Every structure is written in C-alpha cells, then in structure tokens.
Structure 1
C-alpha cells in the first residue's frame, strides 16, 4: 500500500494543523512547557509504559470494538522493519487525535465517544520515534524529526505533542492500524506479543481474535472462556471480576501467583488462586492502585463475587480456590485475602452432602477420610461437607469446623435409624480401623441397634447371632428384655472387635433373658403384645438347633382358634390325641387346646413338638428328682409309694377318654420313648394305668391274662381288644394276685364276697394270704359285707382262725383262714378271731410229762427233736364247749395244753409244744407205726 510522508499534501480530516499551532504557541509562550512535556513523555516512555506496548495497543483495540458494539479483531505483523498493529472497531476521529496529542487528557472518559486513545499510547515510543495511525477515516503521524523542525528545538523533543496528517489506509478487513517503524528491527516483538496475547484476550472481553504474524488466537464463550491458539486451548471459568483456569472436565487449575488486572496487568502482586480482572482506581502509571474509598469499595465488590466463582465450580473443586496461608504479595493482596476469608466464612459456597449450600462457619468436615461416610451422615451432621484430605488446612481460615470421630459418636447417640443404616456405618468404620485411621478404642461408645428396637451405646456385651436368613429376619423384630441381641440387619464383624460376642442359635436359645420372655409370653400376649414375633423367633431357634429345646420352651405362647396358650397346653391339629382325649379337655376352659391350623402348617411338626406341642403322649424325664413337682396325675401318691431315684413318666394320662384306652395304649406302644416309660420299674405310667385305665369299662387289674388260670373264678379273662400280651401286662392286666393299692384290696374283697364267683379253695387261701401281705392301711378300707370261708361259702358271719385248735370244732363254712397273719386279716375283714370266742374244756385230764411218754420219746428221737419242758393233760375223751356248744376235740390249748389220748391228739399237742407244728402229720404217723418204713413212705 502506497502512502505519502508526513504533511506532504496529505488530507487533514482531523484538523491537526490547529492542534500543532496551539501546541507550538504554548511552547513559545512558556518555554518551560516544552521542557515539561519532554520530561513527561520521557517518564512515560522509560517508566510507566516501558513494557506495556502490546497491552496499550490491545486496550485501545478493545475500546474501539466496544465502541462499535462488536467483538474486535487485531493483527500484528512486521513489514519492512515496521511493526503494524491493526484492529477492527470504531475508527479514528478528531477526539481520538486530540487524545493522542495530549499528555494530560484521555478520550476514554466517555465510552460512547469515537476514539479510544490516551496517554497509554506513549508506550509506542519504546520502539519508535515515528508512530502513525491510519484508519478508515484518515491518518495521523508523529515524528521526532518534524517536531524538532517545527519547534526549532534540537535534541530530545516530545514526539506525541504534534500530530501530522499522513496518507495511508488500514489493511482490508480492519478499521485502524498503528504503524511503528522500529528503532531495532531485529527485536522479537511478535514473540513477545505471542506470549501475552492469551492474557490480553482474557482481560479484554471485546477482543475476539488476535493474529500475530499468521498465528491466530480466538476467544469464545462467556461463563467459560476458551482461548484457542496455535498450541491448544486455554479455558477460564469467569464470574464477575474473577477468572480461573480450568481443564476440559471443569476442574480448576489454581494460580500460584499473579498480578491484579485492571483490566490489563498491574504491578500489584496477588497470591490468590484465581485472577482478579477488576475496574479499580489506578495511579497515572496504571501500574499501582490508587488508595481510597473507591478502591475499598471495588475490593469489597470483588470479594463478594468470589463466592459466586466458587459456586460456579463443581462442589468437589471449590476447595482448590480457597486462598492458601502465606505472606501476601502486596497490600492489595493482604486486603483481598482478609475480605475473601470473611466472605467464605459468612456466605454460602460449600455444597453439603445433601445438596445444600452453607458458609464456612456453618460447614462441618470429617477428619476421617472414608468413602461414603459423609453421605451416610448427611442428615445427621448439619452442614456436612466432603473434602479431600488436602483441603482441611485451607478451610481453617474460613471457620469450617473439623469433626473428629468423638464428635460424630456424640451426635449419633440416641439417633433413630434403620438397622441396615447402622450396618453401612459399621462397614465404613471397619475400613478405617483396618487402615489404622481409627483405633477400636475410639469407637467404644458407638451406638448399636438391638433387635428389640433399642439403640444402646457400645457393643461390649452385645450378642451377634449366627443363623439362617429366616432366623435373622424373625429376630429382627423380637423384643426380649435384657437380651442385648444386635439387630441382625445391623450385625457386622466390626462389632466383634468392639466387644460384641458371637452367639449361635443354641446359645441364644439357652439364654436366661429368652427364657424369661418365653415364660411371660402368654401374659404378655394377653396384655396386648404381638406374640407372633417371639413365637416365630423361638421356633426358628429350635429348628436351627436340630429340633432340640430346653424344657422352658413349653411355656411359649402359641395361637389357638380361641386365643393363646402355652405350647405344653396345645395339641397339633393332626394329632391322634384328638381322638383319644376326652372332648371336655378341648373346651374353652379345658386342660388343652388345639394349635391354630394355619400356624401349624407354617412349621415342621418336629419343631412344634420339640417346643412342647403334643402330637402324641409326652414323656417327662428327670434324672435327679427331688420332689413330686412334675405335674403328673396323682404324682404325690406314686411318689410316696416308690420315692423314685429317676422319673421317666408319661404326661396327660388322666385326659384319656374312658372308652379310648385301647387306642391310647396302642399309641403309647408306638413310640420308643413312651414304651420305655411304660416299662420303667416302679414307674408312674404303669402305676397310673393300673389305677385308672379302663379296658372294656374296667380297670386293667379287674381282668386276668388268659394264661393266668390260677386266678380263674375271681378274675375274668381280658376281652380281645387288639392289644399285645406285653401291653396288657404293662397296663396291669393280672397274671398273679399282686395287690399294691387300697383299690386293689377293696376290689379283691368284693370279688371274694361275690356269691356269683366260684374260686377254688386254694385260690381263696392265696387271696387271703395276698390280702394280709398287701401294703395298705386298714383305715383306708371299707369292711366287706360278705367274706368267703375256707370251704368257699360266702357269708357275713365268720371268724378268722387264729388258733389251730379251733379248726377241729368250727365248721369250714364259718372259718376264714390266714395262717401267716390272722390278726391282720381279721382287721381287714372286720371279723372276730376264733380265739375271741368263749371256750372251755369241760372234761377232766391227767397230767403227764413229755419225758414220761415213751412213744413220744421214741418219735422225738426218730425225728431228731428235743423234748420240750413240761407236759400235757391227757383226756380219755377231750370235751370242749365253744360259743355255748359242746364239741369233741383232739387237742386244745388254754392256760394249759390238753390232748385226747390218741395219736392225733398227742401229735398235735407235742408239735405245738415243741414249736414243730409243721411236723404234726409225721409225728401222728410215727405214733401209730414207729417202724422206720413210716418215715420212708
């Protein structure tokens, strides 16, 4: 492009001649003014603007673009040793020329005015003495040489006081171009600009593009500004007066140090992580701020905007923009630090884990770095913020509270949360313990939820239950007072490290607390408690223990159709006992009830039976019984009779219906446990069956076994009831005359006194002997109305033969014989004894000593018997009056011993006197025939 030199006939659209005339006149009128202008320009050139060439040119370009209302473009190049800086925007005008030629005035006072130049243009003097500005509206130039010519002053002159019209046009696509012939053509100015251009585009938002000798930078975006250049893209997050570099993910890259930009760089050093680009008052040099209220207000405004910058970042990145502690770089830096700390302390900018924004003063951070812990505690710790460990020191100046585990535990105490919430907390804390970030001792007060709904401080002494998932679910709602059972949904290995104890189903089932709850369960249910929870938990424990349960489990409340009863008072809906027990047993107030059918279907029968529910007869066992406290029918009577060393018995025999005993006996025989109980020696079951069971309407002892023919006449053969011989015998069907109870004795007395019965005489004798031996008290018996005598006669008038000599004078139909203990038999039968009858010997006898009777002496010698002392009164015919009737007798005894002088009389008297009564028949035979063969026959 061609161009005419300074003032060589070029048009003068800006009236530069007038401006020059005014300046020259001023210099002439005031010689010192020239010197002042020269000094001022020199100060600007070597001082304030010595390194601000591109800053000032870019600032002017931005002002022009802003004036035009469109993003500006700039282009820098070196052509023929001349630096050229072109820009778009408002072109040069007369006011702009005035600003260029004035060291004291600036055209930037009115933003809308055309021409954006001011004293900053003096920066061009650092590289040239001949600057020119060409625009679409005209061109002006300045020249040290022409100024010396016009002023007539040699040496150093103020270059920018005298504008000259020049010829020239800006390059196509641009509105203005500054052209600077270089004093040092070799200086790498464009590289210096390339190093600054990114910052210039950021600071001057009205610039959209910069071309430096073909290298192009662009600025795009608003909230996030992207500066694209030959080496890539720089991104800056912008908010208000602040900017901070960010990466592609939006993560900030905090600045280590910077300077205040106003909007171009100043010399005010800053140590803040973000760049401040603010309109603050500056000294004329534009390097330092101008102190005062205006500066204070500007810094307060900037500080208030800083919280917004942080809020514009994702929450996890905000901590990076908290100023670090350290020495300030300048007074402004110190002021800003204090202001920023105050804003971040009081204004919301920290994002809590539950999504709220809080100020530093209201924020809390945990000093335990555990992933997920803060999220879990979001609604527990107010203002809780998640921070990386490196952020903790940064947050102290903004009053963020550091919360240790002690603070958390204090807040957790009394907290109501679901058990699985606590388990998640324990899992996180366990990681801290494993990583040695926390010591177990620090967690001693950690709350632990119990299965009964309580939350207790500390795990020590609590129980961690191991078991099936179903068991754990059932126990999750069980309420067992005093049992510190950790809620299964909260159980975690950490609790064991903190003092909790592992417990399996067996240990829990044997706990005193569960026993207490079970024993009170019926009472609690009737008071309104939900019995299903405890019932389900206990039954599952029993099932998990192999259907083994302690005895007290039978007190567990279980549902029936009409309410709740103890397990021991219930019968399975499918139990054969329903057909065996008396129907009255199952009435509302009866001894037993039927387990609810739907509930019974939910559990194995073996589990229910183990808990005490009846499916068949239940066996009671006690290896070391101390008293009759086993709730057996008539147990006191049985205990008194046998005083057992062990108890193996059958429950509920007293509930069997009268007509159901054959079926009951078959059921008893069907199970080894009950069969054993029936066969226990002196056991309660056999004893009770013998007393109270009924076979064909009669007690078992009223019948005899078919093989017991010796009892025929007194007892009938047991009917065919489909019962085995062994079972009949165990039940008490007779094989012999065994009498153990008063009932047995009374029954036998009734049978003996029954005229319809025809027992053989031997059986009658054995029956009377059995009566005498029976272990009963006479006072417990009623005297029979009739008795059976020695010849089988049934009578109400009889005597008990208690002296053998009466046998010869009383009729067999009147005598009842009991040789072993006639007195006891008399008491049992309430009969007089024969010796009680009035009797008298009415014939005369002659005394003879035993030694004086040769025949007896010979017999005694033959039998090896010693002769007794004394002797006998011998009667030729012995007459006795008994009960008013006279009788002939073979022998008699009253105060003295009498005998008829016959072999029979002497033999009986001698046998009685020598206490050899059993030898009376042999003595008689030898007296009649003393030959040796008599003993051999």
Structure 2
C-alpha cells in the first residue's frame, strides 16, 4: 500500500498555502468548522455515520451494515460498501464539496463528517483501500511554524480547524474488521462517556433503519437491529422484539423547470424519493406516533404532527436541520401528498381515518403546508368505505356519514342517501378525522328527510326502526329529531311521526264504532321504538291515555251541547278505567267527562258528587257541585266513578313538576308568592272555599281522617295548610290567630285556641301557632306593640331574641315597642340594651332587650331602627380608680379556680367609693368596678363571656370556698 495513497500531502499544502496567503481564510475555515460541530451537527454523530454507511452500500450495490462499538477508548463505526477514495478524502477535508453525485444517496454538502468533532479531536477513517487521519494536535504543530498563522491560533485560544488537514494513517494501522469495508475510528475525549454515547445511539436506530434504505442492519455494542421489508410492510427486529411499520414508497425525477432553478450540483441529482411510514400493531392496526419530525431523509428539526412519518429526499439547509424552501421542496411535498391516499388504502377500511391529519395548530411551517396538501388529496381521492354492498369507495368531498352509531342503519339507507359511508365510521373515534375532511354528518333529522316519501313495505320500516332504536336512548334532542319518522298505518296511509299512533292487538267495540281518529300502526311495522317516540300501546291503559280519546273526553260536554250522542264514549271510558284500576286524581283530564246529574243534565264528572257522600253536608248552600245521577252511580263501582273525578270526599291536586300557580285553586298565586322558593310539588285539597263557616271543625276531622287528604294537610309550607290557616273559621277566627293550648312560649302574644274537638296534631297542621319560630317577624312586632296584651317578661325577652335573627329588609320598623317594664312606648323614645351595666343609667321603661345574650343587640337595633343604649349614655365618674391586676385579687383567683376559668390577663380600675353604676367599661375599653363582690363578679363575668355565671361568681368572691360553689 502507498504511504500516501490519497495524496494528502498535496491537499495539506494547498490548504496551508491558502491560509498563509490569506489568514482571514484560516479564520473563516475555523469558524465554519466550529459552526458545524457546535451547531447543526452537534447531536447528529450517529445520523451522519449511518447515512455515510448507507450511501457507501448503495454506491457499491451491497447490503448495508453498520457496526458501532467502543474499542480501546475509541468509538468505531464499521460499514460495508464503497471504499474510501481520493475524491472522498478531498471531500472529508473540505467544507462544502461532496464526493457523492448519485441522486440516490443522502449526502449533499460534504460537511456531515464534522459531527465526529463532537466526541473526538483526532478522527481516522480506515478502508481496505487505505486510510486518513485528522488531528487537532498535528494541525496546531503545522500552524506553529507559520508566524502569521500562529498568532491567529493564539487569538483563538489554541483551537484550530481539525478536518482541513489530512494525513495518511500509519502503515501499521490495522484495516477494517472482517466483513466490513471501511471503519471510522474516533479516539474519545476525556469528557465523553462512551457507554452513555452508545445508549443514546440505541434510541435512534428505528428512525435510521426506516429512513436509510441502504442500511439493512445496525449493530450498537452487543445489540443488533435489522430491517425486513415485504409488500409495503417493514419489520424491525431488535433486542426488545419486533416493531411493525406500514410504508408507501414513491420515486421520480424533478421536472426540468424545477431543476433549472437549483444549484449546479443539485441539477445532477433530479431523482426524488418519498416514503410514508406509520407504526402498526402485529394485526395491522395503526399506532400513534409519540412525536415526530420531518425526515429528509434523516431527522431534521422540523416538527411534524401528521399521523404518518414522511421520509423524503427534500432539499435542506446546510445544517441539515431545516427544510430549504423553494420549487424543489414544493414539488417533493406535492408528490408526497399525492401518494398519501395510497398509504391510507393499505389499511383496513375501518382504520383508515386514523391517518387523517387533525386540524390542530401546526408544529412548524412545513407541518402546516404538508397537512393542507395531504387533506386536499384525501378529500379528492376515493378511499372511504361505502354503506351497502358492491359499491365503489367514496371520496370525502361527496360523502356523508351518520352522526351517531346505529348498527345496520347505513346499509338500509344506502339507496336513499348518495355517498353514505359505512356505518362503522359513525363512531366518535372517527368524528374528528371526518370533520377535518369536511364530511357532513347526517343527523337523525336528515335521516327522516331522506326516508320521507319513499315507498317501502312495512317490514322494511320495522328494520329501520330497529336500526334507529339505539339513537332514541341517547338524549331528548335526538328523540325530538326522530319525532318526524314516517309510520305506515293499517289503513295504508303514512303518518308523519309516531306521536299519536297506536300499537294495538284489538280495539274495544265501543271505540271501533266511533270515529275518534285513532291511528293504528300496521302490525308488520310495529316496533318498541315507536312507543318511545310518542306512539301508544293499545292495551286498556294506553288506549285510555291516547290523545284522541283524551281529546274526545275533554270536548265531551261541548259535543253534548251540540247534540252528539256520547253514550258509547262514556261507556268505553268507564270500562277502560275499570280495567286499569285508575286512582282518583291520577288522570285529572278524566274530570272533563260529561256525566248526567240528578236533575238529568250533563255536567263535568269533577263537578259531581256521589249520592250520599258525607262531605256534601259540609258545603255552603250556594255550592256549585251537583250530585251524580243514581242510574250511573248504581251501574259502576264507586272506585271507577271517583277515578274519573266524581267526588265522594274532598279531591286533591298532585303535581310533582309544577310550572306555576295554574291549578285552579283559590288564592293559589298569593300562596305561591309567599314562598321563598317556587314549590317542587303541589299537593293540595280542592274546593276548600266551598266549606261553610260553621262546618270547619267537622271538615277538618274529615280531612285529617282521609289518607288521601291528610298528607296534603300536613305538608310543610303546602298550599292546603296555608289556605286553611288564613281562611278557615275556628271559634270566629282563622287558625293562625290562635296558639296551641300548651304553647307557653307564646303566652300573651296569642290566645289559646278554644276547644273545637280537634287533636293538637291537626291544629298544628292548619297553622295554629306552637312556637316563636312559627311566627313571622311583622306579626310578632305588631303583637309586642299591642298595649292591650299582657306579655310575661320571659316571653318578651325570648320574642326579641327571636326577632334579632329576622331579615331587616323584610320588616318595617315598628312605631311602638314593648320595654323591659312590659310597657308599650313610642319607638323613638327607646334604645336597645347592649351592655348590662347601663341598666343603672337608662330607665327600664326606655329599654328593649333580647335577654342576656347581648351579642344579639346590634341585629335587634337594626331591625327596630333603634339606637344602642351605649350610644345614648355619657358616663361621668369623679373617682379615677386604682388599677389592680386580676391575678392580684385572691378571691377572684379562687373563684376562677373553682369554676375552671382562666384568670384574665391585665386588670381593672377599682373604685373605693360606691359608684353608679357599680361597674362599667369605659370608651377606651378599661373595666371599672366598685370595691364589692357583686361589682367584681359582674365585671369578671362580662370580661370572660360568662355572664350567666355572674351570680355564682359573686357568691364565690364573697366566700371562695367549695361549700359556696356546691351549695
């Protein structure tokens, strides 16, 4: 072998001559090399080694294999393929001139080898044809002999370009390993961890084997990865198993118009290749890409969001990180987009939408451009599976998809809806993809429109109803859209919607003979879906509830007045009611049925009472209720007659979803307005306003003893107790004006209810007062201010304590208040007691008090619009007092100990002479007390929030012995 087979001496002399003649050129080369390995190629070592190996294999037409390992502190990358030659060495030692001219290779600029400088300062390339080495140290020695250049090196801190000067490797340098043609040897710098480097390489193998078709196998250390490709499917075998990819490859040449706008060398490489790759599971289903970048064909920094990876011979910037925009890039991207539908077609039809790009924010400019191109191609290509059998695949631009999954529906509608897609694509997992393609969704309303007017046998309609059934379970909106579904009737007509249709086995003779407009579904089309959409089952209960029958009942009185014979209707309704065992009030509309009364006239059923009903004796003389004719009363059981509204006692209204005060109850709107919140249920007794004034005790006993009316009577906040409490008459007054006999808390405020023969539970239910909490604030204030009433002191204090919790915004301040003495005085002359020591300074007949809980005083004062007593008193005391710490008062300490109290911090001002009051708190918060046990006890009780214990504190301070505490 020649000592210098590649003429490196001449190359070195040429470079040195250029540097000597132009030191600036030296700086440019040094800076350019640093830009490469510190910038664009800083993390591309394995990528560059792999693409050079792939290019060598493709040039030589052999299977590409790359082995990377650590040997004697060197990173070694051995590959098969073309041998190193003089052009290759020249390219390695240049910054822009590549030795690769084939359009099928990856390299472009001859600068990728700079990536080796990220780990080594002395790279070598050894081939079976010879080898070269580069060395930062040898380059520095060469430059030290050139004065004009050594100064430049010093300016750079000794850093020199490494890859511009090449030397032949020593003849003793061993050749590549057996089975390989070339090996790159990189002595690792001390700051490089070789094993960590290999571990990082392993993460890049899958990308490289997909991108570089010239490489079939890569070995990293003791692990190996290998690619096998058959019929567009790639298997990547590695240490952790087999990875599967679906690929679609296309190739061609750029047009003359495009190549004419490229650089000189680029024009010699017009060939382009495109490969789409998507990871798939073992059974061929696509898997998502965790994250991706554009591969051109090796990885760039152009982030991508497409569900498939693009590997293409795209022009890129010299850093190999960004796409170089221009006509060549546009042409290759367009070809890539045109081939994308072919990739999609290789998947099973139900999986194809997985590869539709989603309309998210693009991750890069090229991502956005390519996504738009791909979507345009997908919209125009035929690849979506159609509904029905033996049909061509559908273009998204002319497709329609069902909005909701309904098995079998799409096949039924295939003839009625052009371009309808396979029903499997109606699921939510396909929704975003089809939306990105602009495929309109066919809502149930659209289905109804498509099938309206078409001629199909009843059995076909039943199949359609079966397919639509799952949709009716979704929500009210869908059911509303299905409400217009055509329904074939037994008479041959088609009903525009199931509402009002009947599914029956047989009709009652009475109804069969009447032209009520009952619409019966053809039995071959009958399906439960129709029931969910408003049709009625034709059993007794459903016939009874059918709208036509209900309409006939509600207009029955008008029909009688018009001369229509409704005997058959009455008999049919009463028979149906008897068969369904209807309960009173269950169907309020039955009350409109026209029945004969005792005088022979026809009246509404709910305006009639059964002959002999006990409650008839309770009604006022001018009651509008009539009595049912004996002939009807004897023909039907009372349970049937009361179910249609005929009264045998007081009737009730029970509405569990009330929309407003619209139940035709006396004063209902006033009751509704009196509630803090609208009621969630209206359970009320009807016709209470018809009861005679002197019959109320008997009426209440009847209401309380009836299991139907008693719940309405005792419902908290209900209409019935409200109306009776305000309008019934007990001993000449409404129930709310009385109190229960045992309600001592209301003594003086209300008079006890006279004995009217009613139990206390009934009296309480109808509003007879039982506690202060039952009284509204305005009524309580009015009674407190009534001078005719004698109110016990305890009731007075508790009443004002209760009022302190009322909302001032809902109460008008009273003109008169009742004071501590029990007298009623003008409110403007009074104040609210807020501190007990003021009792000695303000007359009792000017004070209003809420008891010994003085924290209620501010709220009570606000409600009554009165000042606080502390705001009206100016206390003047001649004695300044002597400050004494609480802990210094032995009797106080002993009293606190017996009661388990903490002795207060600080102290108080003790006055030797008696004061009026005997204790107080001044404006500065200082506590004062005369030198007496009673005064000290009150001051201590106030200060420790133990006001209720003031008397026992006084006893203990006087005699601080256990006996005083226990007595």
User: What TM-score results when the alignment is normalised by the length of structure 1?
Assistant: 0.49
When Rg is computed on C-alpha atoms for both structures, the one with the higher figure is: 1
User: What TM-score results when the alignment is normalised by the length of structure 2?
Assistant: 0.47
